[in-house]
Amino acid sequence: MLIVVLLGLIVSLLLAAFGRHIRPGWWIFLAAAPLALSAWFVGQLPAVAGGETLLENTRWVPSLGLDLSFRLDGLSLLFGLLITVIGTLIFVYASSYLKGHPYIGRFYGYLSLFMASMLGVVLSDNLLLLFVFWELTSLSSFFLIGFNNDQADSRKSALTALCLTGLGGFFLLVGLVLMGRIAGTYSIQELIASAGLIKDHPSYPVIIALIFIGAFTKSAQFPFHFWLPDAMKAPTPVSAYLHSATMVKAGVFLLLRFTPLLGGTPGWSYTLLLVGGFTMMYAGGHALFRTDLKSVLAYSTIAVLGVLTFLIGLGTREALIAACTFVIVHALYKATLFLTTGIIDHETGTRDLTQLSGLRTVLMPVFIAGLLAALSSAGVPLFFGFIGKDLIYEATLHAGEEFRLYLTVAAVFANICLVAAGFMAGIKPFTGRLVPQFKQVHLPEWSMWIPPLVLALLCLVFGLFPGSIGKLIVSPSLAAVSVAGEPVHLKIWHGFNPVLLLSGATLAAGTVLYLLNSASANKMAFVGRFEVVSPQSLFNRGWRQLMRFSSLYTGILHNGFLRSYLVRIIIFAELLLAFELFKAGPLSVDFDSLAPITIYEAMNVLLLVGALFLVVKASSRLTAVVGMSVVGFAICLMFVFYGAPDLAMTQFTIDTLTVVLFAFVLFNLPPFLKFPTRNKAIITRDAVVALVFGGILSMIAIKVLQVPTSKEVSKFYGENAYLLAKGKNVVNVILVDFRGFDTMFEIVVLGIAALGVYSLIKLRLKPSERE
Amino acid sequence: MTSLIIVSVLAVAVLYLGLFKYKTALLPVSVTGLLAAAAMAAMDWDLEKMYFSEMMLFDNYAVAFSILLILTTLLIFGLSRNYFEKISNNVAEYYALMLFALAGGVVMVSFHNLAMLFIGIEILSISLYVLAGIRRKDPASNEASLKYFLMGAFATGFLLFGTALIYGATGSFNLAAIASSGAFESALFRAGVLLMMVGLSFKVSVAPFHTWTPDVYEGSPGLIAMFMATVVKTAGFAAFLRLFLMAFAEASAFWAITVAILCILTLFAGNITAVFQDRFKRLLAWSSVSHAGYLLLAILAVGFSASSAVLVYTIAYSLASVAAFGIMILVSRARGNDHLDSFNGLARTNPFLAFTLTLAVCSLAGIPLTAGFFGKFYVFKVALAQGYTWLVVLAVINAMIGIYYYFKVIIAMYMKENANAVAIQLNPGFRLVLSIVVFLIFLFGIFPGLIANIL
Amino acid sequence: MSHFLIVGAALFSIGLYTVFSRKNAILVLIGIEFMLNAAILNLVAFGRYDRIDNEGQVFAIFAIVLAAATVAVALAIIINVYKQYKTIDPDKIKDMKY
């Protein structure tokens, strides 16, 4: 299975390397890759339908719990088939849709990358591996949405989509890692085996919240749905493939995959029911107001994703059957509708529903495809959509007593909208009178109209033979997402029952709605008025606020003023220290414990303070330097008091040297400005900040008296020094060993300093460098 | 230890070469020397040798980070042919100062005594103060140098004061002795830890001590900024972690909360400012601030996995930064500035550069199949293992903001056109280094086990 | 010992004050020197308890020498800045921001 996943990656890499050598007409042959893969998946059908699960495990990074483990069960097979079969048709279609485009090589590269990563998502049996592929789908989607590089809009949409799905992806990662930690494994199979462990864990709510965010952003659930309509800036084959048939279903796939692991709890069910239910009604309603064909399709896709989430939330056996079936139903008809839309757009140059009409006379095969897909979407008997719709109603009607009514009403409402939206996209542009401006429109190459026709015919064929689909695909999928029961029997005819009644009513109501609802710009404007409170504009506004805040924040805090930077550092350090001091408890100062001060010490401190004052207030160069040297010598004296005469000598020498250096430099610089008139408030602020710092440090110093220093360490260290440095006298060891070493590094530092001064100043200027 | 001596001697040798005007020999000698140093460092593997009365300890941690620092410097040297010649006549100084800084970095990752930490930091910093300002005629370079110095020396003051307090509380500078002193309750010790944290945070540009970063990166020559973003940051974090791991680990209960606060501040400070940058160099500078935030996450998780996480993260980050800064240098040289618009149409004129930069920013953003993803994954994992779920969630939101600004440059390269752009010429050094970086980013992105299991 | 710690703290704080209140790079540098001196003073003060190892004093020597090296580099930087900007007021040197 590794090779199945890698094939797309290899194709993509080869394209990156050799893409420019491919002749214009040859792109269609790339479809051989997805075709071969779909053949492989079809070949696995009997085995998987027989209840087998194919496993493949390669060690990758065992220390991180990351294995290349793949698993082909019913659910992965269902998605794998969708990805490869629809992929093949898209590859064919795009070869003429983008004919002559300068970057067609890149396009196929991204598309192959996407196909590989999507297959990776559905085949992974390892949480982290799944995440890796999950992010790669977002990445390839980003490149594909932004593919039309002449539009600023498409760039923006690409980035929004990537940020939202990327955010969801990272949340998902956190959820997955948490799960993996609790169960001690990242293998999905093993996790499912220990499902109870996670459900009972206190962080279960956090985990499902994180995973929901991941799934909802990917599958465009309210309130994250708005990236999907924006993503319609992508070339239409991309919209058909990624943004309706496969990638957006990754979230649904994830929820299905985790149903046996996390599902069944109230938190899981209610969240999914609410979010899915709201999304399907909200987006279904929205679809009807759109005038752009792709927009209609985008919103109806969101609605369907809502339906799927809703069904998973319901979680009963009927609901899961319905979800699995509806995934196929939707992929088939929606991809068809997108592809026909693409042809219309490609040939007429517009997707505006208010202008398009009567195209059936010029685009007959396309009309047939659109019509079949629309009928399937509407759930007309004998079409696959009919079976899907039946199953949904069956699921809602068999739900718990108290909710049954609400759930059914919601489902009926969403489905009515979907019927109308399907008709708008599949029938509306073809009916009516042919507008003169479209008289010249002609059928494109076969490679563009055959793919939608094939998909449309599949809608019909699957509808006629639901039994085998049920047996081959839906039953094994169900086995993968819930406890296995008896095999699923999909039937065309269930007899007269409430479900049939509801289906009929939905169809009728949807048709009526379609006929009454003529697309018009006014309605768009009407919906537009509510844009202000939509999640999209809230998000955009939030983002703009963030940018404004960012620029404000940067302008204020990063103004280039060194001193304000420094003050901030000190204040923060003070806060840290003060907090620590506060935690350490009340302060009691015992003045008796302070050692008596000798007269010399007192004199010295006085000297020091005087000199410091001199420096702080200095307004001439000389005062500053003199003050500084006095401070240095006062410190020398202190060293003497502390019995460190050698240190005092060093300090004395260095201090003298420093003062000379300062004097040398200072008198090459201008004299200090006469005391600049400074703001009193700033002086006070500076003084307060400094005083607080001194205060805190002093308090800590006083506290030291209460906690005697441990001398144990010193002893321990002395013993060690004896052993390690093989010396008999510790002082000797230090003098010889320590100081020898110190000196070496001191010399290094001094050398660097000398070099630095030299290269900065260049005492002898070269002729070329003289100003 | 031998490697440290080689690096120091190499620096002096390079100076002599410069003195005797063997300019063509500079690069070959430095590269050979660095390779030798890396090889000698590798020989110390598993030896765990103490040097100079326990002042330095060459354990595996030190060896791994030393090799990382040396090899990163090697990559930077690979880009530097013909670079410094354009700035100054005295090329030898650049090499020597960078080698000295590298020696400081090696000391910083192998210290076992606060004295050595201090010396290492000083060696590194003093070299950098000079390097930042080495373009003497350029006001920006001077400004960078002044700001870096004044703030850096200021932070050194904190570091030194903190060291003194810890010495007062525990009676020793030795890491093992500090760890076993049991003085963790004393106010002196805690104040010392906090002050040292302030000093170190400055060096690795953790907010709110990061304010120098963008100005200094912008003003310094591009390769020096690259050096700061890679070698200096790696050495700083390795030292930070080493100190907190070997000396203060037992007291983690009290400093963890501070590190967590710093982590949040850093992530937001870096990212919020980066989103509206339109010059690539400043953008990288701000993003380097945010990366410090992710690395702090790993420090929170004291333990062996923390060092491994920091190693993986710094390797990934260094590789990506070398590529990003390198291409920034090329583009700003060819097109006059490093504004994001200068990258328009790069995918058409220079597909290789565009691809490399895409890979580099994907790695910085943490996209899978690049080394950076595993860096992020690893730090998130160790932080989650310590129960910092909320912190990781905040970090994740920041990762999203990161994607936004990193991908702006990808958008410029692939989705915007520039009709006038001509292809940028690459010298062989650049081509070689960038190819190596691409290979390694992929290699570590696909086989992270190669670096995740080192420590 | 506390006296010296308090003197150290005071010296450190005055250094801080000088650093961020004076509009002259040289005085800022002197302020930084004070901060370093304060730390060194503390090292020596604590070293008194540690007569066997004398580590504190050893460290103090380093710090003194390093501080001197730093000063030398700093003065070179300041001279260069002065050549470029004709001022050494850090507040006036702020071409780079945001």
CB contact under 8 A, B153 and C78: no
Of the candidates C11, C23, C68, the beta carbon closest to that of A657 is on C68
| Radius of gyration from C-alpha coordinates of chain C | 17
Q: What type of residue is C95?
A: D
pLDDT at C14: 85
**Cα end-to-end distance, chain A, whole Å:** 71
Give the lowest-confidence range in A692-701, A713-722, B7-16. Answer: A713-722
**In 3-state terms, what secondary structure has residue A265?**
coil
B touches which chains (3+ CB pairs under 8 A)?
A, C
Window 679-708 of A, Cβ < 8 Å to C: 682-683, 686-687, 689-691, 693-694, 697-698, 700-702, 704-705
Looking at A507, A523, A539, the residue that finishes a domain is: A523
CB contact under 8 A, A755 and B15: yes
Chain B nearest C-alpha distance from A192 (Å) = 21
A251 domain residue, yes or no: no
Count other Cβ atoms within 10 Å, centred on residue B111.
Answer: 25
Residues of A in Cβ contact (< 8 Å) with C81: none
Instruction: Give the mean pLDDT of A39-52.
Output: 86
Calculate ∠ Cα B143-B149-B152, nearest 5°.
130
Tens digit of each residue's pLDDT (9 = 90 or more) over A511-542: 888 888 776 667 667 777 776 677 778 888 88
Residues of C in contact with A689 (CB under 8 A): 16-17, 20
Average pLDDT score over chain A? 81
A-C contacts at Cβ under 8 angstroms: 225
**Residue in A132, A709, A737 closest to B52 by CB:** A737
Q: CA–CA separation, A177 vs A197, rounded Å?
A: 15
Chain B: give the shortest CA distance to residue A562, in Å.
7
Domain assignment of residue A339, yes or no: yes
* Minimal CA separation from A26 to chain B, in Å: 22
pTM of the predicted model as reported, rounded to 2 decimal places:
0.89
Share of chain A above pLDDT 90, in %: 11
Q: What is the DSSP code (8-state) at residue A486?
A: S
Q: Which of A577, A636, A669 would you mutate first to test chain C, the one with the most C CBs within 10 A?
A: A669
Taking CA–CA distances from A613, the nearest residue in chain C reads: C14
Output DSSP code: residue A735. Answer: I
A123: its two tokens: 């085949």
Contact B449/C at CB under 8 A: no
Residues in chain A within 8 Å Cβ distance of B449: 60-64
Whether A365 contacts A300, CB under 8 Å: no
Query: Cβ of A405: how many Cβ atoms within 10 Å?
Result: 12
For B142, which of C46, C63, C84 is closest by C-beta distance?
A: C84
Closest CA to B145 of A751, A658, C73: C73
- Band (A665; pLDDT cuts 50, 70, 90): confident
Contact (CB<8Å) B411/A158: yes
Q: Is B349 exposed, middle or buried (0-12, 13-18, 19+ CB in 10 A)?
A: middle
Instruction: Please enumerate in sequence order all residues whose Cβ is within 8 A of that of A257, keeping only pairs 6 or more positions apart, or say none.
Output: A75, A188, A481
Side chain identity at residue A152, one-letter code: A
B137 contact C CB<8A: yes
Q: Which of these, A560, C88, C85, lies nearest to B216 by C-alpha position?
A: A560
B265 vs chain A: nearest CA distance in angstroms?
Answer: 11
- CA distances in angstroms from B251 to B108, B112, B113, B294, B300, listed in the order given: 22, 18, 18, 22, 12
- Across the interface, whether the CB atoms of C43 and B145 are under 8 A apart is answered no
pLDDT beyond 70 at A589? no
Average pLDDT over residues A655-674: 75
- Find, in chain C, the residue whose alpha carbon is nearest to that of A627: C30
pLDDT for residue A611 is more than 60: yes
Q: Which of the four pLDDT bands, split at 50, 70 and 90, describes residue A361?
A: confident
B373 at A interface, C-beta within 8 A: yes
Q: Which chain A residues are closer than 8 Å to C14 by Cβ?
A: 612, 616, 690, 694
Question: Closest to B164 (Cβ–Cβ): which among C39, C77, C81?
Answer: C39
Tens of pLDDT along chain B (455 residues) come to 788 889 988 988 888 888 787 777 888 888 999 999 999 988 888 888 877 777 888 899 999 999 999 999 999 999 988 777 777 777 888 888 899 999 999 999 999 989 889 989 998 998 999 898 888 788 888 888 988 998 898 889 899 989 988 888 888 888 888 888 877 777 788 888 999 999 999 989 998 888 889 889 998 988 999 999 999 999 999 999 999 988 888 888 888 888 999 999 999 988 888 888 888 999 999 999 999 999 999 888 776 688 889 999 999 999 999 999 999 999 988 888 888 888 988 888 888 999 999 999 999 999 888 999 989 988 998 888 888 889 999 999 999 889 989 998 998 888 888 878 788 888 888 999 999 999 999 999 888 888 888 87
**C-alpha distance from residue A574 to each of A570, B70, B158, B251 (Å):** 6, 37, 12, 20
Q: How many whole angstroms separate alpha carbon B127 and alpha carbon B100? A: 7
Helix axes B187-203, B233-246, angle to 10 degrees: 160
**Touching A: B residues 196-225, CB under 8 Å:** 197-198, 202, 208-209, 211-212, 214-215
Instruction: Tell me whether A716 touches chain C (CB under 8 Å).
Output: no
Contact C71 A662 (CB under 8 A): yes
Rg (CA), chain A: 37
Q: Any idea of the CA torsion for A656, A622, C79, B96, to the nearest 10 degrees?
A: 10
**Nearest Cα to Cα of residue B144 among C93, C86, C28:** C93
Choose the final residue of a domain: A523, A556, A580: A523
Question: How far apart (Å, rounded) are the C-alpha atoms in residues A218 and A169?
Answer: 8
What is the span of the domain harbouring residue A503?
268-523
CB contact under 8 A, C77 and B168: no
**Chain A residues 570-599 with a CB less than 8 Å from chain C:** 570, 594-595, 597
Transcribe B103-131 into DSSP letters.
HHHHHHHHBSBHHHHHHHHHHHHHHHHHH
| Residue A768 neighbours by CB distance under 10 Å | 6
Cα gap A352→A34, rounded to integer Å: 33
> Are A388 and A377 spatial neighbours (Cβ–Cβ below 8 Å)?
no
Whether A145 is in a domain gets the answer: no
Residues of C within 8 A of B126 (CB-CB) are: 69-70, 73
Task: Tell me the backbone φ, ψ of residue A58, rounded to 5 degrees.
Answer: -125, 135
CA–CA distance from C25 to each of A77, A655, A672, B119, B150 (Å)? 71, 19, 11, 25, 8
Asked if C42 lies within 8 A of B215 by C-beta distance, the reply is: no
Spatial distance between the Cα atoms of B412 and B409, rounded to a whole number of angstroms = 5
Backbone Cα Rg of chain B: 21
Whether chain A has a CB inside 8 Å of the CB on C90: the answer is yes
C8 in contact with A, Cβ within 8 Å: yes
Q: Which residues contact B251 (CB under 8 A, 6 or more apart)?
A: B184, B189, B190, B193
CB proximity B50 to A under 8 Å: yes
Distance from CA of C84 to the nearest CA of A (A): 12
Helix axes A266-289, A293-314, angle to 10 degrees: 160
Last residue of a domain, one of A523, A542, A562: A523
Please tell me the distance from the alpha carbon of residue A209 to that of residue A267, in angstroms, as a whole number: 9
Decide if A170 contacts A131 (C-beta within 8 A): no
Cross-chain Cβ contact A717/B174 below 8 Å: yes
- A547-587 pLDDT, tens digit per residue, is 888 888 887 777 777 778 888 888 888 888 888 777 766 65
| Percentage helix, strand, coil for chain A under 3-state DSSP, each rounded to 5 | 75, 5, 20
Q: Which residue of C has its CA nearest to B117?
A: C59
Measured distance CA(A111)–CA(A98) in Å, rounded: 13
Q: Tell me how far apart the alpha carbons of residues B326 and B80 are, in angstroms, rounded to a whole number.
A: 10
Bridge partners (DSSP) of residue B56 are B51, B111
Mutate which of C28, C52, C59, C83 to disrupt the A interface (most A C-beta within 10 Å)? C52
Q: Is C41 on the interface with A (CB under 8 A)?
A: yes
Q: What is the DSSP string of B327-384?
A: HHHHHHHHHSS-BGGGGTTHHHH-HHHHHHHHHHHHHHHT-TTSHHHHHHHHHHHHHH
Please report whether residue A490 resides in a domain. yes
Count Cβ atoms below 10 Å from residue A142 Cβ, excluding itself.
Answer: 27
- Domain contains A485: yes
Contact list in A for residue B52 (CB cut-off 8 A) is: 737-738, 741
State the Cα–Cα distance between residues B447 and B436, nearest whole angstrom. Answer: 16
- Among the four given CATH numbers 3.40.1180.10, 1.10.287.3510, 3.40.1350.10, 3.30.750.24, the one describing domain C2-88: 1.10.287.3510
According to the model, what pLDDT value does residue A397 have? 84
Q: Decide: C46 and C56 in contact? Cβ < 8 Å.
A: yes
**DSSP type of residue A126:** B
Question: Which positions in chain A touch B358 (Cβ < 8 Å)?
Answer: none
Q: Which DSSP helix (H) or strand (E) runs through A66?
A: strand A66-72
Helices (H), A19-64: 32-49
- Provide the CA A565 distance to its chain's centre, in angstroms: 33
Subunits that touch chain A (at least 3 Cβ pairs < 8 angstroms)?
B, C
* Inter-chain residue contact C91 with A616, CB threshold 8 Å: no
User: CB burial class (10 A; 0-12, 13-18, 19+) of residue C8?
Assistant: buried
- The residue type of B104 is G
**Cα distance between residue A435 and residue B409, in whole Å:** 45
pLDDT at position A549, please? 84
What distance in Å separates the CA atoms of residue B415 and residue B419, rounded to the nearest whole number? Answer: 13
The residues facing A224 across adjacent strands are none
Token pair of A522 as six digits: 């006014």
| C-alpha to C-alpha distance for B33 and B9, rounded to whole angstroms | 9
Q: Which helix (H) or strand (E) holds B132?
A: helix B114-132
Interior angle at CA B324, CA B320 and CA B329, nearest 5: 150
Q: What is the DSSP letter of A231?
A: G
Count of structural domains, chain A: 2
Neighbour tally for C92: CB within 10 Å: 12
